[in-house]
Structure 1
Amino acid sequence: MTTAADEIAARWLRRYHPADADAVRLVCFPHAGGSASFYHPVSARFAPSAEVISLQYPGRQDRRKEPCVADLGTLADLITEQLLALDDRPTVFFGHSMGAALAFETAWRLEQKDAGPREILASGRRAPSTTRAEEVHLRDDDGIVAEMKRLNGTAAGVLGDEEILRMALPALRGDYRAIETYSCPADRRVRCDITVLTGDADPLTTVAEAQRWQDHTSGAYRLRSYEGGHFFLVQHLAAVQAEIARALTPAS
């Protein structure tokens, strides 16, 4: 029998492919305006040896009628609640852009319950306590579209389809509000390892800002830089997947 808790979990946690009973878990955190389906290729690549869970935030796709969660801490609390309900198994987090900060905050909360991941792969995001004055969420619709084009994060076909674009704008605005108002204490650290993936021409993250992730872990820290901008991971999918494969492989 499907319970109310099962129905709520199904809204948050998407599994596109079956996994082996003893599979390691990979939890994927989308970028601002992004959806769980962004990680479908990752699920296809690593299942069934990994249980790939893609998060679906409220306010988009089949959850578009739900209000966006415009506070990153609140969103991390809600995700933490869902992940705590899962069975215990080795887990890796992957998050891009806003998703990287959200993965960090979720990992920190889970570690308070002794249920944290063994590694975070933080992609396309400066260190949590490194701030900039950003107000994209305060722009009009045209201003948000201009930012999307600058980052090349959305296909040109979507940008040219007014109906689809209008459906996406509330989620974009809500997510930008969440990440642009996010504040992290400088001394907040996780115990798990952190691997940072960054584009060398990312307008939102300099290499120096990416390096400051090492201040937020007492575990191992690694930095990998790739040619490209904010969505370098699309261009370097194979290399990024190789990093995920390394993280999912138990240390000998």
Structure 2
Amino acid sequence: MSPRPDPVLEAARPWLAPVREVDPAAPLLVCFPHAGGTAAYFHRWSVALAPEVTALPVHYPGRFDRRAEPAPLDLMALVTGVADVVAPLTGARRTILFGHSMGAVVAHEVSRVLQARAASPSALVVSGRRPPRPDVSERLPVEEDTVLADVRRLGGRGVALLEDPEVRAAFLPVIRGDYALLDGHRYRPGPLLDIPVTAVVGDSDPRVTPADAHGWGATTTGPFRLFTRTGGHFYLDDDTPFLLDLVRSSAGGDPCASG
């Protein structure tokens, strides 16, 4: 007999949708994709972590299976949408948030909203991203040619697909929209997080240095640890085992363990 669907997880659709069967006792990992990324990036994480941890990739509106929906025009609108469905999860079981690049910004803001609602996640893991600074714009490119050049500079497995004109026509508007979201977002200082925060960065990332990433420690009163890994902005394409071990240790209550 198949297990009954979890009503809380069912209510979280379409924002969160488990890829595999969910163990009702397993900790949760909410995964926030990078700019232009989709929930599909984390499907292999879902397979590798099951059944110890249930990975729940975030499905942003305006792309993939939600492409018929309008994309958010304000990053905090996106944050609120995710927070609304994650809040009921945090009280039921251990819940870790992981975000890479743009996803780190969204995951951090979601953590702040959840804490304000007395529904803090158990831990936050941010990857490939500088910490927030008040009133500082991203100043990201918005024109098609400059966005494409920036994406190529960052690299990653998906960048080669953009050489196909049809793929580029489909995905470049999404990437440009995400860049505009980041460029328009202004971090507003407020209460610090009170949860463990872990930052991970590639040692040759053109966007963020290990020294930059160390600043994430100032975002929380809880434990903080920084890991520097070999690789560029998308070091995680090839460093998945390390990150999965980090998630497992965090799910077990030791978010600063190296795995």
Same fold, judged at TM 0.5 (above): yes
The match for 1:92 among 96, 117, 139 is 96
User: Corresponding residue for 1:127?
Assistant: 131
Q: Tell me, what secondary structure is at the counterpart of 1:225?
A: strand
Q: Tell me, what secondary structure is at the counterpart of 1:147?
A: helix
User: Corresponding residue for 1:184?
Assistant: 187
The CA distance in 2 between the partners of 1:9 and 1:61, in whole Å, is 17
> Which TM-score applies when normalising by structure 2?
0.88
The CA distance in 2 between the partners of 1:223 and 1:51, in whole Å, is 24
Contact 1:25 1:89 in 2 (8 A): yes
> Which TM-score applies when normalising by structure 1?
0.90
Shift of residue 85 of structure 1? 3.9
The CA distance in 1 between the partners of 2:147 and 2:191, in whole Å, is 31
Shift of residue 7 of structure 1? 8.0
> Is 1:214 matched up with 2:217?
yes
Shift of residue 181 of structure 1? 2.2
Shift of residue 19 of structure 1? 2.1
Contact 1:69 1:175 in 2 (8 A): no
User: Corresponding residue for 1:111?
Assistant: 115
Contact 1:122 1:197 in 2 (8 A): yes
Flag the 1:178–1:154 CA change in 2: closer, same or farther, 3 A: farther
The CA distance in 2 between the partners of 1:28 and 1:68, in whole Å, is 19
Contact 2:194 2:220 in 1 (8 A): yes
The CA distance in 2 between the partners of 1:237 and 1:52, in whole Å, is 14
Provide, for residues 71-109 of structure 1, a one-character-per-residue CA deviation record: whole Å limited to 9, x for no partner: 221111111111124462111011000101111100110
User: Corresponding residue for 1:228?
Assistant: 231
Contact 2:157 2:237 in 1 (8 A): no
Contact 1:198 1:205 in 2 (8 A): yes
The CA distance in 2 between the partners of 1:234 and 1:6, in whole Å, is 28
Shift of residue 65 of structure 1? 2.4
Provide, for residues 157-204 of structure 1, a one-character-per-residue CA deviation record: whole Å limited to 9, x for no partner: 411221121111221111111112222234542111100000111111
Q: For the aligned residues, what is the CA RMSD?
A: 2.1
Identity, % of aligned positions: 34
The match for 1:238 among 223, 231, 241 is 241
The CA distance in 1 between the partners of 2:231 and 2:73, in whole Å, is 29
Contact 2:137 2:185 in 1 (8 A): no
Shift of residue 230 of structure 1? 0.5
For structure 1, the 5+ residue unaligned runs are none
The CA distance in 2 between the partners of 1:246 and 1:67, in whole Å, is 37
For structure 2, the 5+ residue unaligned runs are 255-259
User: Corresponding residue for 2:146?
Assistant: 143
Shift of residue 207 of structure 1? 1.7
The CA distance in 2 between the partners of 1:50 and 1:8, in whole Å, is 20
Counterparts of 1:47-62 in structure 2, within 5 Å, are 47-62=50-65
- Judge which range, 121-130 or 213-222, deviates more: 121-130
The CA distance in 2 between the partners of 1:63 and 1:154, in whole Å, is 23
Flag the 1:154–1:145 CA change in 2: closer, same or farther, 3 A: farther
Q: Tell me, what secondary structure is at the counterpart of 1:134?
A: coil
The CA distance in 2 between the partners of 1:157 and 1:199, in whole Å, is 20
Shift of residue 209 of structure 1? 1.5
> Is 1:198 matched up with 2:217?
no
